[in-house]
Amino acid sequence: RECSGHAALLSASLQLARIQTDSVVEMLRELYPNLRFEIVAMSTTGDKILDTALSKIGEKSLFTKELENALERNEVDLVVHSLKDLPTSLPPGFTIGAVCKRENPLDAVVFHPKNCGKTLSLLPEKSVVGTSSLRRAAQLKKKFPQLEFRDIRGNLNTRLKKLDEKEDFSAIILAAAGLKRMGWENRIGQLLSPEDCLYAVGQGALAVEVRAKDQEILNMVSALHDANTVLCCIAERAFMKRLEGGCSVPVAVNTMLKDGQLYLTGAVYSLDGSDSLKETMQTSVNYPQRNEDGPNDDVQHVGITAKNVPGQAQEAAENLGVELASLLLSKGAKHILSVARQLNDTR
């Protein structure tokens, strides 16, 4: 690689994954005009299982395992993921070497053409809304009890097709970031504010996964880190990890970084949204960058290696996530989540 100046990137074969990978390559090409980047496409088990609700599949690793195998075998040097697809603990030997600037993390409502111009609150009673996410369903069932929420799987193209060409759904809920990246922003009929629906951990951010020991590639991709996004996502991932949350339970967040203060709101929900706990905490992340090479060079925080973001700020962000989760656990979050997990298993 040193001689030819060549790096291979792996992309899941779906259109959105390819667009996301292309955008990362574009940034790398601007930074390293003399390097050659080659994109290798591959589909994952998670992409192929389209008839099962995401929460029932349970394992985030379904979307990442095959990609990591290629990384391990040195067939590729970096893998681009949606950060929200990456588990909070990565397998040994891997790390997130870059977290790119976050796109809008909010959820969006896309309406059936006949409901164009409406919002969720204006839909007729018993209208069916599609979402594959327990987190979205739990929050929206509570907020809009007059609506029905049903599973809808498939990639973005498939879901929009199901919405437009059939009469099964009045609307579907998707991540605004994915719609924007696909160039379908005009389909967003309503953005759900954090008051309506807290978002998923890491939603809207792209992550570049690399071999943890590959110093050359790590140094190269670290230039893509967006410090604010890194700190927000470390806090969110630490919150999720402490709660032992995942796709099979409704865990949601909202983060904001303002004037050196990081604010994290986190919540857990029962499947029907009737039972919930929600709290907000804050911490200062206003620390200078220290240039000290040493044994702490490659400290990972919930799977993220970010040498160019102050270490103390990363620690503060991680502690914030852990403390907020501990607060919710002390108020009974474990019970809410274990009931949700059991109910989801029997669905």
Active site residues: 85
* DSSP assignment of 252-284: EEEEEEETTEEEEEEEEE-TTSSSEEEEEEEEE
Is 195 within 8 Å of 121 (Cβ atoms)? no
Side-chain-facing half-sphere of 191: CA atoms under 13 Å = 11
Q: Backbone phi, then psi, for 332, in 5-degree steps?
A: 110, 15
> What is the rounded distance in angstroms from the CA atom of residue 4 to the CA atom of residue 11?
22
Q: What does residue 328 show for φ and ψ, rounded to 5 degrees?
A: -65, -40
d(CA 317, CA 253): 14
The residue with tokens 């796109």 is 103
In angstroms, the CA 247 to CA 87 distance is 10
Q: How far is CA 302 from CA 10, 238, 241, in A?
A: 22, 6, 8
CA atoms 283, 286, 289, 294: torsion sign:
negative
Single-letter code of the amino acid located at 232: C
192 CB-near residues (< 8 Å, 6+ apart)? 106, 107, 108, 109, 173
